[in-house]
Chains A and B, each alone.
Chain A
Amino acid sequence: MNSLLGAGVIFLSGLLLARAFRWFKIPSITAYLILGIILGPVFLNVIPGKIISISGLISNFVLGIVAFSIGRTFHRENFRLFGRQVLWISILEAIGAWFMVTVILLIVFKSIAVAIVFGAIASATAPAATIMVIREYKARGPVTNTLLGVVAIDDAWCLIIFAISLAVSKAILFHQPGTQLMLINVFTKSIIEIIGAFFLGAILGLMLDFVGKILRTPEEVLTVSIGFIFVAAGISMHFNLSVLLTCMVLGLALTNIRNANEQFFESLQKVDTTLFLFFFVLAGANLEINQLENLSVMGVFYLIFRIIGKVGGAYIGGKISNASSQIQKYLGWGLVPQAGVALGCALVVKSELPEIGGLIFSTIVATTVIYEIFGPLCTKYALIKTGEIEEKA
Chain B
Amino acid sequence: MLIKDIMLKNVLSVERSTTLSRLLKSYEKFHGLPLVPVVDENKHLVGQVSIQDILSVFTPHGRDLQRILDSLPFVEREKEDIFSSDIPSEMGFLIVVDDFMDRKVISLSEDLPIEEAYQTFGKYSVDEALVVNKENQLVGIIGKFDIILAVFRQKGII
Contact = CB atoms under 8 A, between A and B. Distances in A.
Interface of A: 28-29, 65-66, 69-70, 72-73, 77-78, 81, 126-128, 131, 135, 138, 140, 144-145, 148-149, 151-152, 155, 215-218, 220-221, 259-260, 262-263, 265, 269, 272, 276, 339-341
B61 A340 contact: no
A215 to B, nearest CB: 6
A126 B74 contact: yes
A69 B68 contact: no
A140 B61 CA distance: 8
A140 B104 CA distance: 27
A127 B123 contact: no
Given A144-B61, A145-B61, A221-B123, A131 B104 contact: no
Interface residues of B, number: 23
Main secondary structure of the interface of A (DSSP, over half): helix
B47 to A, nearest CB: 11
B78 A65 contact: no
Contact of B60 (A77, A140, A217): A140
B72 A152 contact: yes
A340 B76 CA distance: 13
B73 A65 contact: yes
B68 A78 contact: yes
A28 B125 CA distance: 30
A151 to B, nearest CB: 8
B69 A72 contact: no
B113 interface: no
A217 B124 CA distance: 8
A151 B75 CA distance: 11
Contact of B71 (A65, A69, A145, A260): A69
A73 B73 contact: no
A272 to B, nearest CB: 7
Contacts of B71: 69, 72-73, 265, 269
B104 A259 contact: yes
Contacts of B106: 259-260
A70 B73 contact: yes
Contacts of A216: 119, 122-123
A211 to B, nearest CB: 13
B65 A73 contact: no
B60 A128 contact: no
Given A81-B65, A218-B123, A340 B74 contact: yes
Contact of B78 (A135, A145, A220, A221): A135
Interface in B46-98: 60-62, 64-65, 68-69, 71-76, 78
Contacts of B60: 138, 140
A215 B125 CA distance: 13
Contacts of B122: 216-218
B73 A66 contact: yes
Given A66-B73, A276-B73, A215 B64 contact: no
B65 A69 contact: no
A126 B61 CA distance: 18
B9 interface: no
B103 interface: yes
B65 A272 contact: no
Contacts of B125: 218
A265 B123 CA distance: 14
B2 interface: no
B105 interface: yes
B123 A69 contact: no
A201 to B, nearest CB: 17
Nearest to B119: A216
Contacts of B65: 81, 145, 148-149, 152
A152 B69 contact: yes
B74 A127 contact: yes
A148 B123 contact: no
B64 A276 contact: no
Nearest to B106: A260
Contacts of B62: 145
B119 A276 contact: no
B123 A131 contact: no
Given A217-B123, A221-B123, A259-B104, A152 B68 contact: yes
